[in-house]
Amino acid sequence: MLNFILRRLALIVPTVIGISLCAFFFVRVLPGDPILAMAGQHGVSPERYEILREQFGYNLPIWQQYFNYLGNVLQGNFGVSLSTKRPVLTEFMTLFPATVELALVAMLFAVLVGIPAGIFAAVKRGSWFDQLTMGVALTGYSMPIFWWGLLLIIFFSGYLGWTPVSGRIALTFFLRPITGFMLIDTILYGNWAAFVSALRHLILPAIVLGTIPLAVIARQTRSAMLEVLGEDYVRTARAKGLSPKRVVNVHALRNALIPVITTIGLQIGLLLGGAILTETIFSWPGIGKWMIDSISKRDYVVVQSGLLLIALIVMAVNLIVDVLYAVINPRIRVK
């Protein structure tokens, strides 16, 4: 097992170096000058410009800038945002929990609805329930989620007035973050009204972000289940006279869930991408919106380090999924 993890880690090293190179050089070729961007509308005198250039190391040869950057990153210094003048890592750490909370609730929604729907569809293969579920799943999979979010806002916020349009919690509540997860923090403070407010803010974005994973999980569960239900050992279990319920829940489900778990893991990386759209629509203060805002503000430092951090997180998640997969499915380890 340890061997497997080490091998996977060794494979990742060149990719990580490549990612850091990409993040660094992408941002270097962005049009516009970082120092002018920093100076904003007021502009900057030529002398001051030179001083700043030197101060930020933009006068050095590009490869040297890269190594300086890499050295800083390895010490946990991801630079200082040009627009807010705060360390990028600090900003990231304050915003990241919002995205994680949103993504986790979205994934929970997708799993809790998607897996049972997929199982029922497979067991009742060909029934109207199966056809309906798969039709809805394919529609969800084809959904432009930015539009889906707007539709839900029109209906639930505009027409019914049930949910707020944007943000994480009503502005009347001010809670100093403990964990950064609004749902948990409000419980820790024992503030029930705040918890309800946070939940009402969270529900639409989570549904929007969870829609595509839900569709993928439902489809994947159904097809994995169908495959397993055709296996010999399931037939044997049936022939032994076990109840259909037991055959499905114990014999089939366990084996069918292995590929589904991988799918769920891979969806987590995609969720971070989907978060960009969802957070923009609902003004959710997470890293997706942060990146979009930084790109339009031409905040080089944030775009560069944000790209790097996000890619590293996606890779870490994929690695964990791989390892978990090897834990539950020993066949993969031998390869």
Q: Which residues bind another protein (CB under 8 A)?
A: 14-15, 18-19, 22, 26-27, 29-31, 125-126, 131, 134-135, 138-139, 141-144, 146-148, 150-151, 153-154, 157-158, 230, 269-270, 272-274, 276-277, 280, 291-292, 295-296, 303, 307, 310-311, 314-315
Closest to another protein by CB, 3 vs 296, is 296
Beta carbon of residue 144, minimum distance to another protein (angstroms, whole number): 5
Instruction: Select 197 or 267, whichever has its Cβ closest to another protein.
Output: 267
Q: Are 218 and 171 in contact (CB under 8 A)?
A: no
* Integer Cα distance of 152 and 262 in angstroms: 30
SS (H, E, C) 120-170: HHHHCCCCHHHHHHHHHHHHHHCCCHHHHHHHHHHHHHHHCCCCCCCCCCC
Which residue type sits at 103? A
- As measured in angstroms, the least distance from the Cβ of 31 to another protein is 7
Q: Which is nearer to another protein, 184 or 332 (CB)?
A: 332
The single-letter DSSP state of residue 247 is I
Which of 184/285 has CB closer to another protein? 285
User: In the complex with another protein, which residue's Cβ is closer, 31 or 43?
Assistant: 31
Give the chain's end-to-end CA distance (angstroms, integer).
12
For the bound state, the minimum distance from the C-beta of residue 181 to another protein, rounded and expressed in Å, comes to: 22
Q: CB-wise, 182 or 277, nearer to another protein?
A: 277
Strand partners, 80: 87
Residue 306 beta carbon to another protein: minimum distance, rounded to whole angstroms: 9
CB of 176 to another protein, least distance (A): 30
For residue 24, CA distances in Å to 4, 55, 56, 272 come to 31, 18, 15, 20
Q: Which is nearer to another protein, 3 or 142 (CB)?
A: 142
Find the shortest distance in angstroms from Cβ 32 to another protein. Answer: 10
Torsion 142-147-149-154 (CA) sign: negative
Nearest-angstrom CA–CA distance, 298 and 31: 9
Smallest distance, Å, CB 47 to another protein? 30
Which residue, 175 or 226, is less far from another protein as judged by CB?
A: 226
Rounded to the nearest whole angstrom, what is the least distance from the CB of residue 184 to another protein in the complex? 25
Shortest distance in whole angstroms from residue 18 CB to another protein: 4
The b/e string for 190-211 (b: 16+ C-beta within 10 A; e otherwise) is eeeebbebbbebbbbbbbbbbb
Backbone angles phi, psi at 173, to 5 degrees: -100, 130
CA distance 319 to 314: 9
Q: Are 288 and 248 in contact (CB under 8 A)?
A: no
In the beta sheet, which residues pair with residue 87? 80
The residue (of 30 and 203) whose beta carbon lies closer to another protein is 30
